[in-house]
Amino acid sequence: MEAQIVPNFLQKRAFLTPDRPALSCLEKTYTFYEVYDRAYIIAGQLQAVGLKRGQFAGVLLRNHEDSVFILLALQLIDVKAVILNNRLTAEELIWQLDDSTSAFLITESSFDEVSQKVVNSLRGISAIHKEELFRKDPVEPELIEEISLNEVCTVMYTSGTTGNPKGVLQTYGNHWWSAVGSALNLGLNENDSWLCAVPIFHISGYSILMRSVIYGMKMVLFESFHEKKVIKAISAEKVTIMSVVSTMLTRIADELENEQMPDYFRCMLLGGGPAAKSLLEVCREKDIPVYQTYGMTETSSQIVTLAPEYSFSKLGSAGKPLFPSQLKIINPTGELADPGEAGEILVKGPNVTKGYLNREEETAKKIKDGWLSTGDVGYVDQEGFLYVLDRRSDLIISGGENIYPAEVEGVLASHSQISDAGVIGMKDNVWGEVPVAFIAGEESLDKKEVTEYCLERLAKYKVPKKIIMINEIPRNASKKILRRKLRELLGESGK
């Protein structure tokens, strides 16, 4: 099938509605023409320092207006952005940059220490600091006037349940259809404005940027989440939609006390795991509309969403697949599961990734006839509403961040005094869940030293909050960790 060709997203948007507000950050607002103009200059500066069409470039930036301009500049010249989680350690970043064969690392002074380690380890990569980049004389950029929807736009790494993380290929078509699916579900209003206080290095944040350009909608960008400032901005910026995880929503609901959301506020789009019934009840009392969603990096944001009118009649459900998307549950024998029967969740649609970067085998295993095996367990009821029972087998979701036990276990097992390790999630009032490690090893092992060892090798949120010494990690005949037994042990240790 021949690829669909469309005009360059940002160029077209700046042509259609140049004077419409596009981005508000740090109390400064830019129109779509101003955003395009800034991205155009940066595109010329990026080409002046050697970036070429079709290359992969690592992007290590925080939530800031400059980051938006840089990410859009990369789209203008068809450089594929490998968007890096800025909470990762140098070791984790080095692995991803090496795996993606990124020619450059685009970063900023706040990440000097980590970017220096990266450049020292990877000789073939050049670090470009935005502060220096913006002082360069731009060349006339070679703009890509048309884009193929099959073309890769971004790469985001997701940790597998085993081994190293994989680079998820996200095409322009994936982002386009993700935006279309969301609009067909939530509706689209010419006064819409979306508040982004989630990281733009996550698909939850980057998808808001793509929607902004595709819809011609103002994005209100926060560097980090702060409930008081967010509530103030919802009024000041006339925000209609906001993306949240449960911890953020809890803090907003608490901060509101007896106040109500403005009547023009349309919804909180809630991702990052199912919401507690108590939180939904508080939101109902306060008239805060909440759309619960299910999605992942591989689906370029939400793929299943529950509208507010079902939030109590279908309590605990993630909803129905968005208009362009499909969903099915496969039982252990590989057949279509009956309603109410648990099995693996498979999804399909034009917002689903075409695969993993340089991982043909893994791609072939995970995607068959366009159906992506999510690894998550769930069921659909008689009316087709999805209930997610277990997120990607053993996944821990902490404050909206995904933590794969296998990755943490790998780091723990690499310690010279640890012979084996098992990691599970423990309920936490603030973060939803936090990781707990069970380790078998030498008696002289110092738990503090183990924590320090992990902090050097893992992002802080992945570091176990509790370490429990045991004689042996329980495993089955095929040597898989029996996490159920670890959960029992955690209960016995008084949590």
> What is the pLDDT at residue 162?
54
b or e along 4-34 (b: 16 or more beta carbons within 10 Å of the residue's beta carbon)? eeeebbbbbbbeebeeebbbbbeeeebbbbb
Give the model's pLDDT for residue 312.
80
Which residue ranges form the domains of the chain, and what is each CATH number?
5-380 (3.40.50.12780), 396-492 (3.30.300.30)
Tell me how far apart the alpha carbons of residues 272 and 285 are, in angstroms, rounded to a whole number.
23
Per this entry, what is the length of the chain?
A: 495
- pLDDT in the model for residue 495: 47
Instruction: Quote the DSSP letter at residue 125.
Output: -
Q: Where are the beta strands (DSSP E) in 69-177?
A: 80-83, 104-107, 126-129, 146-148, 152-158, 166-171
| Cα–Cα distance measured from residue 21 to residue 463, given in angstroms and rounded to the nearest whole number | 41
From residue 47, give the alpha-carbon distance in Å to each of 14, 61, 79, 112, 286: 21, 19, 10, 22, 51
Cβ–Cβ under 8 Å, residues 387 and 316: yes
pLDDT value at residue 391: 60
Residues of the chain scoring pLDDT < 70 = 1, 159-163, 274, 390-393, 476-480, 493-495
Question: How far is Cα 317 from Cα 345, in angstroms, rounded to an integer?
Answer: 14
Name the nearest CA neighbour of 39 among 133, 117, 160, 110.
Answer: 133
